[in-house]
Amino acid sequence: MRIILLGAPGAGKGTQAKSISNKYNIPHISTGDIFRKNISERTPLGIEAKKYIDNGQLVPDELTIDIIKSRLVEEDCENGYLLDGYPRTVEQAKALDGFLNEREANLDTALLIKVPREFILERMTGRRVCPSCGASYHVKFNPPKNEGICDICGSDIIQRDDDTEITVNKRLDIYEAQTHPLIEYYRSRDLLSEVDGTQAINDVFESVSKVLNELKK
């Protein structure tokens, strides 16, 4: 299966993507992971991408398209893949269409996880992480036993720069202006599927599985 996962920042795409990848035995290809790897290794691409990410902006198409194409021709993608974070714009979608046409391949679906803006704001601004061990928390939904202290290693937990209200709102504004048109793009091609992302994680995945199982018939 060849699947695109759509949804606003904080909609839970990463969590669902991992479950889809495991169940359907296809690689989960996340542009976020690719960029984070390049940023941590301080590659030229990573340094350039960091400028945009730190400001809550999308990485320009020209920095994104080539790295995705090179990933999709790797051996583990022969039987399909799940794209998480790409395409982000209609221009990127058209570039992917061209790539698939060249390889005489088809996209199975663009799967949208729908979550209201106010729900995302509460979810993202409440997130906290441990910089020492990587544990994740939420001030409302998953607080640590002792406020501000990691349950696992005892370090102070922090709010990431990209989880502040200003940055989250900026990211959502960019999504609505640039990425939201993808919904109409794929709907017009009868490739859009939708699930309610406000459900519990397991319930969201159950809804996702129903959609994908129908496509496999």
Residues in contact with 80: Cβ distance below 8 Å, sequence separation at least 6, in sequence order: 1, 2, 3, 24, 26, 108
- Annotated active-site residue in 2, 123, 127, 128: 127
88 is catalytic: yes
117 is catalytic: no
- Annotated active-site residue in 171, 187, 189, 216: 171
In 36-96, which ranges are E strands? 81-84
123 is catalytic: no
159, containing H or E segment: none
Q: How far apart are CA 23 and CA 80, in angstroms?
A: 13
171 is catalytic: yes
- Annotated active-site residue in 2, 13, 123, 128: 13
Contact by Cβ (8 Å): 6, 182: yes
- Annotated active-site residue in 23, 160, 189, 210: 160
Q: Which two tokens stand for residue 19?
A: 């479950």
Q: How far apart are CA 82 and CA 28, in angstroms?
A: 5
Q: Which two tokens stand for residue 160?
A: 């990431």
Residue 59: φ, ψ to 5°: -70, 135
160 is catalytic: yes
- What residues are labeled active site? 13, 88, 127, 160, 171
